[in-house]
Structure 1
Amino acid sequence: MTFDPTTLAPYFGDLAAGARLTALACALALAGGLVLGIVAALMRTAASPLARRVAEIYVDIFRNVPFIVQLFFLFYGLPEIGVELSAFGTGVLALSLAGGAFTSDVIRSGILAVEPGVLEAAQVSGLSRFAIYRHIVLPMALRSSVRPLGSVFVNLILTSSILSAITLNELTGSAKIVAADTFQPFEVYVLLLLLYAVMTWLVSLSAGALHRRLNRDHG
């Protein structure tokens, strides 16, 4: 067998388009997952037992049910009750919901890591609970959570490969089409492996750099 990836040159544009779609879906899912994760983390650390229970149910469902089952439910199940989304919209929603469950663990750990003395000083100063969380707790929690959140983003990129199961031609979906057209699955999937490795490496590198920058004066 001869290994000749240069024969795939005419298809590099298709693979690049798939990579861009993967990056866009994951970026949107990261934003959605971060919002959901912050809300869930605040609910899990709230005084209300009901809020804590609701958040725990959400986290347990989306952390313990296989992602492909969640994806199929949203794409094939919701239309049965009149809720229809595009393949891209479904992918972003599924990744956001799953990412939010894992993000909530990261943010919750950051919130619990805030020293009680900081909270007591803020309370003595007369700040409201909302102001304390907005201006003190959440910024401190997010600053200490950059590296773990980078890992969540890496996991979103890896998980996004499953979106091809709902006909979304992201990176893996595009690679499948190219492999079928060229009859060169070995070369295609070697290239796919390298593309995912580069994408996740860049995310890890960026997360590390951001962590160092944000914590430069808080070492």
Structure 2
Amino acid sequence: MSFDLTLLAPYLGDLAAGARLTALACALALAGGLVLGIIAALMRTAASPLARRVAEVYVDIFRNVPFIVQLFFLFYGLPEIGVELDAFSTGVLALSLAGGAFTSDVIRSGILAVEPGVLEAAQVSGLSRFALYRRIVLPIALRSSVRPLGSVFVNLILTSSILSAITLNELTGSAKIIAADTFQPFEVYALLLVLYAVLTWLVSLSAGALHRRLNRDHG
């Protein structure tokens, strides 16, 4: 068997386009998942039993159901009730919902790790509960959660490869098309392996650097 990466040279632009689509989908999903995760974490630490239960149901569903089942439900199931989304929007929504469930665990842990003395001092100063969380609890929780959130983002990148199942030509989808066109699956998927490794390594490196920068004055 010969190994010739030069055969893929004409397709590098397609792979680059797929990589950009993967990066965009994951960046949007990270933002969406962060918002959902913060909301779910606040509900899971709320005094209301109903709020805690609703959040736990959301987390349990999207953390314990296979991602491809969630994806197929959104892409093929929702149109049956009149809700139609294109492949990219469906992919971002699916990643956001799944990412939010995992992000809520990270944020919740950060909230619970805030020292009681900090909360007591803030309450004595007369801050409302909303101001307390907005100005003190969430900033501390997010600062301590940078590394775990980096891991969630890495997982989103890896999970995004499944979006090719709904005809989205992200990185994996583009690679599948190229492999079919060139009849060189070994070279194509070897390159794909390297690209995913580089992407996830860069995210992990960036998360570590951001964590050190945000926490350098906090021990």
Q: CA deviation at 1:169?
A: 0.3
Partners of 2:65 and 2:2 in 1: how far apart?
42
Partner Cα separation in structure 2 for residue 147 and residue 217 of structure 1: 17
Query: Counterpart in 2 of 1:52?
Result: 52
| Structure 1 residue 53: Cα displacement | 0.3
Are 2:93 and 1:93 equivalent residues in the alignment? yes
- Render the CA deviation track for 1:4-55: whole Å, top value 9, x for unaligned: 1111000000000000000000000000000000000000000000000000
Paired with 1:6 and 1:27, the residues of 2 have a C-alpha distance of 31
Partner of residue 73, structure 2:
73
TM-superposed deviation, 1:180: 0.2
C-alpha distance after superposition, 1:132-188 (max 9, x if no partner): 000000000000000000000000000000000000000000000000000000000
Q: Say which SS state the counterpart of residue 169 (structure 1) adopts.
A: coil
Q: Partner residue of 1:134?
A: 134
Pairs within 5 Å for 1:1-219: 1-219=1-219
Distance 1:6 1:30 in 2: 35
Distance 1:13 1:44 in 2: 45
Deviations 1:40-82 (A, max 9, x none): 0000000000000000000000000000000000000000000
Q: Distance in 1 between the 2:118 and 2:195 partners?
A: 44
Q: How many pairs are equivalent?
A: 219
* Structure-1 separation of matches of 2:176 and 2:69: 21
- Matched residues in 1 for 2:131 and 2:172: separation? 44
Report the Cα distance in structure 2 between the residues aligned to 1:65 and 1:165, rounded to whole angstroms: 17
| Alignment partners' CA distance in 1, 2:145 and 2:6 | 42
CA distance in 1, matches of 2:162, 2:2: 30
Q: CA RMSD in A?
A: 0.3
Tell me the CA shift for residue 117 of structure 1.
0.6
Displacement over 2 Å in runs of 4+: none
Unaligned runs of 5+ residues in structure 1 are none
Unaligned runs of 5+ in 2: none
**What TM-score do you get using the length of structure 1 for normalisation?**
1.00
Q: How much identity, in percent, do the aligned residues show?
A: 93
Cα distance between partner residues in 2 of 1:132 and 1:143: 16
Secondary structure of 1:3 counterpart = coil
